[in-house]
Amino acid sequence: MTANDFRRLALSFPETEERAHMSHPDFRVGGKIFATLGYPDKSHGMVKLPPEQQHYFSKDYPDVFVPVKGVWGRRGATSVQLKAADKETLRKAIEAAWRDTAPKRLLRKS
């Protein structure tokens, strides 16, 4: 996957908007960040997963998903190695992050 693939997947979810945070693109729903691109470098993205899902994605796809170090990682921030990711797996991770962040009214629609 590429950064543009990640961007297209993130923006495919309802009411998602792209903004910037700390000099790199982020993706928000309801004003809250659920994914970012370009951190720590251009070959990575980040999805903010519920801790249980972070555990399973990291365990099942260790070459793709790694919890971010420190408090952010314990709160679900999960680094994504873009080159190692396949479209369907990345879509599932981004969807999980979006669902965990989206307002309840959007979840009832989807």
Give CA angle at 100 (55, 84), nearest 5°: 50
pLDDT on residue 14: 95
The answer to the question of residue 96 being in a domain is yes
Residue 91 domain-assigned (yes or no): yes
Q: What is the reported pLDDT for 109?
A: 67
Q: Say what the pLDDT of residue 42 is.
A: 93
Whole-number Å distance between alpha carbons of 48 and 67: 10
Inside any domain, residue 65: yes
Answering whether pTM is above 0.85, one says: yes
Residue 51, preceding peptide bond in cis (omega within 30° of 0): no
Q: Is residue 11 part of a domain?
A: yes
Token pair for 47: 């999805």
Cα–Cα distance measured from residue 14 to residue 66, given in angstroms and rounded to the nearest whole number: 26
pLDDT tens track, the chain, 110 positions: 999 999 999 999 999 999 998 889 999 999 999 999 998 899 999 999 999 999 999 999 999 999 999 999 999 999 999 999 999 999 999 999 999 999 998 888 66
